A and B are shown apart, each in its own frame.
Chain A
Amino acid sequence: SQQGEEDPQALSIQEGENATMNCSYKTSINNLQWYRQNSGRGLVHLILIRSNEREKHSGRLRVTLDTSKKSSSLLITASRAADTASYFCATGKGAQKLVFGQGTRLTINP
């Protein structure tokens, strides 16, 4: 069964708005990672948050982690057309045991 599940499955917003997507998982983790995938391309690592961290920032990205609720959120502020992509969370213990969710398809409308 999937370890990470993203919500919503699809999100469409206007350029300049903020986008929030969520990830829930089932078992204990070392860290949680977020990746972006443009259509027909490979995944690109965005940010990693460790199990003892609650919030992390990288540019326009903000990630939170709540281990008590086994959930994480990814916030993209001031969205741009180039942010249109699928976003995946990955959880687990060790790179060889990472489990990916089904992703959130984000569309930024001009």
Chain B
Amino acid sequence: DGGITQSPKYLFRKEGQNVTLSCEQNLNHDAMYWYRQDPGQGLRLIYYSQIVNDFQKGDIAEGYSVSREKKESFPLTVTSAQKNPTAFYLCASSQTGGDEKLFFGSGTQLSVL
């Protein structure tokens, strides 16, 4: 079954703690993305990567970090510098040079304790 797997589905962060959200895809897509969604809002781009070992900041990268050591994996770390981390986080992937359609994971809800 091809797709994108995000884990965990729910995550709680204590103040001052870094947490890492996992995103794995088996669609053989080159590009991967992280979006943040606040209640009743659209998606805002945090980071994206078009190729292994390379990634670019999106519109709201402050307080977040990523890595892309493997084509299949694009983990997102929410650092203690992100003062308002409570949100729904969505990972997506796309085929470069294709029709720009995004495939999404099922999301991780991050809350602050």
A interface residue numbers (CB < 8 A to B): 2, 4, 30-31, 33, 35, 40-45, 48, 88, 90, 94-96, 98-103
Contacts and interface: CB of A to CB of B under 8 A. Distances in A.
A70 B92 CA distance: 26
Given A96-B31, A102-B41, A33 B105 contact: no
A101 B104 contact: no
Contacts of B99: 31, 48
Given A33-B101, A35-B102, 19 more contacts: A4-B42, A31-B99, A33-B100, A41-B107, A42-B6, A42-B90, A42-B104, A42-B106, A42-B107, A43-B102, A45-B102, A94-B100, A95-B31, A96-B33, A96-B56, A100-B35, A102-B41, A102-B42, A103-B40
A14 B99 CA distance: 34
Size range of the interface on B?
20 to 34
Interface of B: 4, 6, 31, 33, 35, 40-45, 48, 50, 56, 88, 90, 92, 94, 96, 99-107, 109
B104 A95 contact: no
B105 A42 contact: yes
Main secondary structure of the interface of A (DSSP, over half): mixed
The 5 A-B residue pairs with the shortest CB-CB distance, nearest first, are A42-B104, A100-B42, A95-B100, A100-B43, A95-B94
10 contacts: A4-B42, A31-B100, A42-B92, A43-B90, A44-B104, A48-B100, A95-B31, A95-B100, A98-B45, A102-B41
Contacts of A90: 102
